[in-house]
Amino acid sequence: MTGLPIAVVGASAAGLAAVEALRRSGWRGPLTLIGDEPHLPYDRPPLSKQLLHGDWTPERLTLRTAEQLAPLALDLRLGTRATGLDVATRTLTLDGGEQLGCAGVIIATGVAARTLPGADRIAGVHTLRTLDDALALRSGLANGGAPGSEDVAAGGGGGGRRVVIVGNGVLGCEAAAVARELGHEVTLVGIGPTPMAAVVGTEVGELLAEEHRARGVRLLTAAVDGFETAPPDQDGAGDPRVTAVRLAHGGPPGSGGVAAGGGTRLPADLVLLAIGSRPAVGWLDDPALDTTDGLRCDAYCAAAPGIYAAGDVARWDHPVHGRPLRFEHRMNATEQGMAAARNLLAELAAEAPAAAEDAAPAQERRPFAPVPYFWSDQYAVKIQAYGPTAGADRVETTVLDRAERRALALYGRDGNAVGVLAAGLPPRQARALRAVVATPLPWEEARERVAAATADG
């Protein structure tokens, strides 16, 4: 028995999937799960939807309770941050200075929210990545107008707070929908004119823009130059509070007042920065690792011998698409966590077949070749997509019902169809589209298969 643990860094959906797969696949040695948050592994997609809206309690997001984790016999290190990794010796350094030698390591640290200079020292300016972020934002939204009021539905002010959301990608759009349903005055600011265009293309993005405008969201195209603030409370405690968002000089006409520097100001009681994320790889400074846009891995999710990655942080060679890809999507996190665990065990078994007490039964490593999937819920519109839709060089969109925001889109790259999206389609039809892009197909063949998959209704 080696006595060395397998360590999974990141108590995330990917990290949880990895530790469960390790035990299920036969690893009987020590198993350590390290998470920098104090919470048990929880589900992140509801943070910007059900939790933010107030429909769910935080407890409902928990993926496994302590009792459910107990059979895994984990050395569970919550509230602990990994600060370094020596690849050659597979030794982790933790924030308390502890050195943890490992038989293998799976990195599932995810991503961190991008922010703007000084924003973390201004009350009322939020990011949304963690449970604590979501609860703080929800608290700020809690005193809005009545959800479902006639005023909200008609696009009126609703008596809520003035909410400015910076960033019109998936997260910004979902948060805008929730804030509007809660009765707030919402302005969605993006550097591009079309919401979610980088992920869904221009035509689907324009359809979503129509829905947001119909619900009363104000859409602006501009860059943010900074914030205006008011002093802290009368006792002088706390941070200054945001009062406005400054747009860069030459902001859109009629978008707000004039700031002192000549730009445009948007009065704001609450601001959400939804300007993207960065892979959480800053602690990985070993030159043996490539941390350009995530942790670079081969087709087996291996970054180096005995070092694997899974989830939002992993950029791996997708064997079907023939290029490195990184997906920040929930299903990929779980699937890749399991794949990384199985492949690590196969490598360890090949390295030391005599270590039978700890090792799993012999198996071969398998390339990780998923069909990427993501979804987004905004108002009554459900968007589902299969395959890599971002970076397409050809997009064909069919609007089935503009009033109901129903649409189909096909995404191509290098002459092949690689992704497909459904907005407002019945679940059965949306699921049928997965097979169309399970492997890249010639464009015309894919168009025919999409038509066949959606022919009934």
Quick one: pLDDT at residue 427? 86
- Please, are residues 15 and 337 in contact by the beta-carbon 8 Å criterion? yes
pLDDT score recorded for residue 351: 87
Q: Residues 85-127: pLDDT tens digits?
A: 999 999 999 998 999 999 999 999 999 999 999 999 999 999 9
Identify which of 222, 227, 218 has the alpha carbon closest to the alpha carbon of residue 268: 227
Average pLDDT for 124-152: 78
Three-class DSSP category at 43: coil
14 vs 30, 37, 63, 108, 328, CA distance in Å?
Answer: 19, 15, 11, 6, 11
Taking every pair of Cα atoms in the chain, the longest distance, rounded to a whole number of angstroms, is 73
The pLDDT of 414-436, averaged and rounded, is 93
pTM value is 0.92
Q: Give percent of the chain above pLDDT 90.
A: 84
Q: How high is the pLDDT of residue 147?
A: 39
Note whether 15 and 41 are within 8 A (CB).
yes
Q: What is the per-residue pLDDT for 418? A: 96
Q: Provide the mean pLDDT of the chain.
A: 91
Q: What is the pLDDT of residues 293-313, one digit of tens each?
A: 999 999 999 999 999 999 999
Alpha-carbon dihedral angle through residues 117, 118, 122, 125, given to the nearest 10 degrees: 10
* CA-to-CA dists, residue 389 to 142, 209, 325, 454, angstroms: 35, 19, 12, 19
Residue 232: pLDDT band (50, 70, 90) is confident
**The predicted structure's pLDDT at residue 361:** 64
pLDDT of residue 455: 75
Q: What is the pLDDT of residue 150?
A: 35
Q: Is pLDDT of 356 > 80?
A: no
For 173-220, write each residue's pLDDT tens digit: 999 999 999 999 999 999 999 999 999 999 999 999 999 999 999 999
Q: Which of 7-21, 144-158, 354-368, 434-448 has the lowest mean pLDDT?
A: 144-158
For the segment 145-166, the average pLDDT, to the nearest whole number, is: 58
Q: How far apart are CA 118 and CA 431, in angstroms?
A: 44
Task: Give me 155's structure tokens.
Answer: 């696009």
365: left (phi over 0), alpha (psi -120 to 50) or beta: beta
What does the alpha-carbon distance between residue 150 and residue 101 come to, in Å, rounded to a whole number?
61
Residue-wise pLDDT for 251-272, tens only, equals 555 555 545 445 689 999 999 9
Residue range 57-80: mean pLDDT, rounded: 98
Structure tokens at 360: 């799993």
Structure tokens at 133: 């972020």
Residue 256 confidence (pLDDT): 57
Q: In terms of C-beta density within 10 A (0-12 exposed, 13-18 middle, 19 or more buried), how is residue 225 classed?
A: middle
Average pLDDT score over residue span 263-292:
96
**Is the predicted pLDDT of residue 226 greater than 50, yes or no?**
yes
CB 422 within 8 A of CB 404: no
Closest CA to 434 of 386, 398, 397, 388: 386
With a cut of 60, say whether residue 157 has pLDDT above it. no
d(CA 151, CA 147): 10
Q: Average the pLDDT over each of 150-159, 182-191, 415-424 and give the range with the smallest value.
A: 150-159
